[in-house]
């Protein structure tokens, strides 16, 4: 079903016949139309990041990283058919799963995906728009600065400094809104990603980038002479597998695959492959699942 090469590189190919399950449905102020389950699909499109070293990077259907390894394991365990990997940004995830709150129910989804494995933190607001399996990892929010900058030792030191976040992310907003730290969040275009923010950091246009430690560790590993990791975590980020809202059967099947990935040791091998040479305190045990209801 899959061919591999290098550090976890995967190439989509034709898959086996899908396991069948009854369509799931959910209610929010009344019954919703039944949702076609991931398990009933005759082809599956999976959204992953394309610009985050160690997590999800690549293009043209070929991607690699920890998130891609997780997605690949789920595909093989569930025998999902005709799988295609596509790039997705933080700003697109809900909409491409059919959970855009600004569109009327039944509106055709532009460039739809069936599953998202893309450093997708589970939040109460997002959980009203999509169904989350997992989480498959609990990351910590941390900070990346330039190698020669001694000013930032912890999140409080971001006060008065210029920071940046990828569009659709909430990491920098969390610093300002939830923690009350008076940092200046750069106003960026809708197309901005964390790789754009890291490039601005390298060029001296901003002072710091703060987001999940797995994401930052990948950028640091790619250019250790340019950056340093503050290594002072201050929140938990529970990475979930995003599915269309109401796909309970698909969610439960994905959870079983995630549990098996950890129990078999494959999750640990993947984490060590991508982040074993960093200073991160990697979590090797399966996280407690959120529940699919």
Task: Dump the DSSP string for 89-132.
Answer: -GGGHHHHTT--TTS-TTPPPSS--SEE-SS-B--HHHHTTEEE
Distances (CA, A) of 60 to 73, 84, 149: 20, 10, 37
139-236 domain in CATH 3.40.190.10?
Answer: yes
- Predicted pLDDT of residue 67: 98
Length of the chain equals 293
Give every residue of the chain whose pLDDT is below 50, as ranges.
Answer: 1-31
Q: Who contacts 280 (Cβ-Cβ below 8 Å, separation ≥6)?
A: 213, 214, 217
- Predicted pLDDT of residue 205: 95
Q: What is this structure's pTM?
A: 0.85
CA 39 to mean position of chain CA atoms: 21
Tens-digit pLDDT profile for residues 198-211:
999 999 999 999 99
- Domain ranges for the chain, please list them: 3-138+238-275, 139-236
Q: Is 139-236 in the same CATH topology as 3-138+238-275?
A: yes
- Asked if 181 contacts 158 with a C-beta cutoff of 8 angstroms, the reply is yes
Residue 10 three-state SS:
strand
- Predicted pLDDT of residue 35: 85
- Predicted pLDDT of residue 34: 73
Tens-digit pLDDT profile for residues 76-124:
999 999 999 999 999 999 999 999 988 887 788 999 999 999 999 999 9
- Predicted pLDDT of residue 13: 35
- Predicted pLDDT of residue 32: 55
Looking at CATH, the fold of the domain delimited by 3-138+238-275 is given as: D-Maltodextrin-Binding Protein; domain 2 (3.40.190)
Rounded to whole angstroms, the Cα distance separating 82 from 217 reads: 32
């Amino acid at each position: 079903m899959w061919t591999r090469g290098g550090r976890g590189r995967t190439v989509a190919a034709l898959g086996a016949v899908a396991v069948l399950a009854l369509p799931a449905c959910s209610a929010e102020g009344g019954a919703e139309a039944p949702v076609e389950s991931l398990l009933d699909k005759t082809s599956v499109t999976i959204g992953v990041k394309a610009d985050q070293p160690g997590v999800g990077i690549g293009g043209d259907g070929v991607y690699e990283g920890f998130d891609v390894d997780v997605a690949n394991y789920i595909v093989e365990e569930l025998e999902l058919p005709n799988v295609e990997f596509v790039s997705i940004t933080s700003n697109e995830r809900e909409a491409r799963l059919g959970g855009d709150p600004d569109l009327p129910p039944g509106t055709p989804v532009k460039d739809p995906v069936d599953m998202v494995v893309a450093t997708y933190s589970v939040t109460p607001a997002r959980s009203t728009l999509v169904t989350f399996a997992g989480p498959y990892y609990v990351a910590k929010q941390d900070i990346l600065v330039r190698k020669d900058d001694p000013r930032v030792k912890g999140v409080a030191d971001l006060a008065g400094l210029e920071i940046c976040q990828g569009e659709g992310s909430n990491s920098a907003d969390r610093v300002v809104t939830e923690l009350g730290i008076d940092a200046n969040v750069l106003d960026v275009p809708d197309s901005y990603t964390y790789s754009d923010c890291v490039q601005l950091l390298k060029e001296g246009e901003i002072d710091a980038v703060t987001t999940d430690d797995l994401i930052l560790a990948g950028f640091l590993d790619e250019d250790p002479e340019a950056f340093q990791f503050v290594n002072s975590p201050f929140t938990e980020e529970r990475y979930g597998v995003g599915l269309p809202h109401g796909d309970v059967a698909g969610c439960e099947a994905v959870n079983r695959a995630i549990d098996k990935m950890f129990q078999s040791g494959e999750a640990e091998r993947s984490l060590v492959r991508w982040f074993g040479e960093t200073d991160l305190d990697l979590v090797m045990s399966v996280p407690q699942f959120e529940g699919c209801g």
